[in-house]
Amino acid sequence: MDFDAIVVGSGISGGWVAKELCERGLKTLVLERGRDVQHRVDYLDFAPPWELPHRGLVPETEKAQHYAIQSTSHAFNSASSQWFVRDSEHPYSTPMDRPFSWIRGYQLGGRSITWGRQTYRMSDFDFKANRLDGHGIDWPIRYEDIQPWYDRVERFAGISGSNEGLEQLPDGQFLPPLALNCVELAFKQKTEADHPTRRVTVARCAHLTEPTPEHIALGRGPCQLRNVCERGCGYGGYFSSLSATLPAARKTGNLTVITDAIVERLDYDHAKQRVSGVRVIDAKTRQGRSYQARVVFVCASTLGTAQILLASRSEHFPTGLANRSDAVGRYLMDHVMGLGATGTHPGFLDRYYYGRRPAGFYLPRYVNLTERGNADFVRGFGFQGHSYRSSWGRGVSEPGVGAELKQRLRYPGRWEMTLIGFGEMLPRPDNRVTLGERTDRWGIPLLHIDCTHGENERRIAERGSRDAAAMLAAAGFENITSNGPIRPPGDAVHEMGTARMGLDPATSVLNRYNQAHDVSNLFITDGSCMTSTGTVNPSLTYMALSARAAHHAADLLGSGEI
């Protein structure tokens, strides 16, 4: 064996697995398909606007040439575009009438550099939902199984937030919260007074408002509230693989990282029922090689992992590795986007705020929390929101020159508020990825993604937009516009579900510890393991499941069971 463990992918889930395995004393190899990134050195976070290419904007011609229309997000600008995969260089296909946005980051650290850092725990409303309403299979775990691991990852990552005592949004191990501004506080008071089941709380986010000695020992410092996070943060003010998990893993002396190493497939030894090798293509030289380890974790992100499993066909797994259930590549989900609303407030004109803030507020799910439900759909949605005083009637971020622009800039603008909804998407077998006929420049089959929203998602989106508009109107907002219509899946960048966990090997790929039912030394802990989406941003759950699975694998290795 070359190593005790191999981890494929260095993003949020791979970083966590590497840290935990290294700290358990296992010699661990991380294989990353993208380039090496030096924390601090390779970021543009200290560049002033006038030093950025195109003053921070990405030219329309560049977008048109390299990025699918949907594949650009609020975090995409000329200082962060280096972290977004160009679709022109890494294509995939979809049916013409069913677009899917596959937003990727192929580099050391993956999308932990660009993520929005919103971090919420799933609750038993989520872990029990499939069993109760019959959509999808039952999760093999409950909140109590994952709760200590949420505690562990929150403490290490550093999550700021406020405890609220809500069953649908469990409390956590939080650093001091950020503050709500005056308009957000007024919205909170009005909404909670009108609707006793709705709560507006400060966003929970992976920012160090007050670093602990553990954070400082890793070279991380307090968040400076600069709001240039998507460029990468030299202070280590927010959690990423580069600021936190990989440095911790390196400290143990047990970590080896190889970048530009595209995992093409896993080899399977049927006699031992184990992965016997990880085949890699060098991204630069295109030469192939193979690595062996006692245990293999695939954390290449939901679709990247599906691609590797589907490509790992063998005599005993003709449709893809660990795919006896035929669930690999199926049940693809994302959160429903295109619900919510925006409005402007005529008041509070004598109030302002100082500085910036990397997150606003959260309004957790409030529908269908009773046994009988109270909506014409199952599951629910939550809102992220913030209020700010800038663009409405003001020249900030608007094109323009000369006296007219200067005049507009003098006016502080009205208060504006946005509620961005995230709805639950149901697991369906027909929402799936398969390998296409075409191959990429390394000879690896391209993914074909066929995924679409159904009637339940449409109803969630309609209700979410309606409720958001009504709450804004009740709180005195005007000029209210809906965020609808529903967006194609992929837009939330929360893709998940293509190698789901479950109790029954006939219907699921992974057991309750993220170990493949069919292959004892194979673990998968990225979003592909998710059995349902819940309504909250998922990455904190990937972190907790990753840490939990890594310790389980270390235990099994220790006892000689794998």
Ligand X SMILES: Cc1cc2nc3c(=O)[nH]c(=O)nc-3n(C[C@H](O)[C@H](O)[C@H](O)COP(=O)(O)OP(=O)(O)OC[C@H]3O[C@@H](n4cnc5c(N)ncnc54)[C@H](O)[C@@H]3O)c2cc1C
Residues in touch with ligand SF4 (CB under 6 A): 45, 207, 223-229, 233, 235, 237-238, 358
Toward ligand SF4, which CB reaches closer, 225 or 258? 225
Q: Which residues pair with residue 517 across a beta bridge?
A: none
Quote the CA–CA distance of 22 and 246 in Å, as a whole number.
10
Which strands, in side-by-side order, build the sheet including 522-524?
255-258, 28-31, 3-8, 293-298, 522-524
CB of 213 to ligand X, least distance (A): 26
By CB under 6 A, the residues from 117 to 176 that bind ligand X are 117-118
Binding of ligand X by 539 (CB under 6 A): yes
Structure-block tokens of residue 219: 């070279």
Toward ligand X, which CB reaches closer, 13 or 344? 13
Residue 210: alpha-carbon gap to chain centroid: 24
> Three-state SS for 138?
coil
Binding of ligand X by 229 (CB under 6 A): no
Site string for ligand X, 55-94 (x = CB under 6 A): ------------------x-x-------------------
Task: Give yes or no for a contact between 491 and 334, defined as CB atoms under 8 angstroms apart.
Answer: yes
Say which entry of ligand SF4, ligand X, none residue 238 contacts (CB below 5 to 8 A, set by partner kind). ligand SF4
Say which entry of ligand SF4, ligand X, none residue 228 contacts (CB below 5 to 8 A, set by partner kind). ligand SF4
Say which entry of ligand X, ligand SF4, none residue 223 contacts (CB below 5 to 8 A, set by partner kind). ligand SF4
Stretch that binds ligand X, among 11-19, 122-130, 314-322, 324-332 (CB under 6 A): 11-19
Toward ligand X, which CB reaches closer, 33 or 389? 33
Task: Give yes or no for a contact between 295 and 67, defined as CB atoms under 8 angstroms apart.
Answer: no
- What is the amino acid identity at position 61? T
CB of 234 to ligand SF4, least distance (A): 7
Which of 346, 360, 353 lies closest to 476 in space, CA to CA? 346
CB of 359 to ligand SF4, least distance (A): 9
Binding of ligand X by 7 (CB under 6 A): no
- What is the amino acid identity at position 157? A
Binding of ligand X by 304 (CB under 6 A): yes
Residues 6+ apart with CB under 8 A from 425: 333, 334, 335, 336, 453, 457, 489, 533
Quote the CA–CA distance of 433 and 203 in Å, as a whole number.
33
Q: What is the DSSP letter of 144?
A: H
By CB under 6 A, the residues from 502 to 531 that bind ligand X are 526-527
Residues 6+ apart with CB under 8 A from 204: 118, 119, 120, 159, 160, 161, 162, 172, 174, 362
Strands 255-258 vs 201-202: parallel, antiparallel or unpaired: unpaired
Binding of ligand X by 116 (CB under 6 A): yes
Stretch that binds ligand X, among 30-38, 56-64, 451-459, 516-524 (CB under 6 A): 30-38
Binding of ligand X by 254 (CB under 6 A): no
Residues 6+ apart with CB under 8 A from 69: none
Binding of ligand X by 265 (CB under 6 A): no
Toward ligand SF4, which CB reaches closer, 223 or 468? 223
Site string for ligand X, 468-497 (x = CB under 6 A): -------------------------xx---
Q: How far apart are the first and last CA of the chain?
A: 14
Q: How many CB atoms lie within 10 A of CB 449?
A: 26
Which of 416, 437, 291 lies closest to 349 in space, CA to CA? 416
Toward ligand SF4, which CB reaches closer, 160 or 535? 160
Say which entry of ligand SF4, ligand X, none residue 237 contacts (CB below 5 to 8 A, set by partner kind). ligand SF4
Which one among 141, 208, 255, 308 touches ligand X, defined by CB under 6 A?
308
Task: Give yes or no for a contact between 111 and 535, defined as CB atoms under 8 angstroms apart.
Answer: no
Which one among 301, 342, 515, 533 touches ligand X, defined by CB under 6 A?
301
Residues within the interface to ligand X (CB under 6 A): 8-14, 31-34, 73, 75, 103, 105-106, 110-112, 114-118, 262-263, 299-301, 304, 308, 493-494, 526-527, 537-539, 542
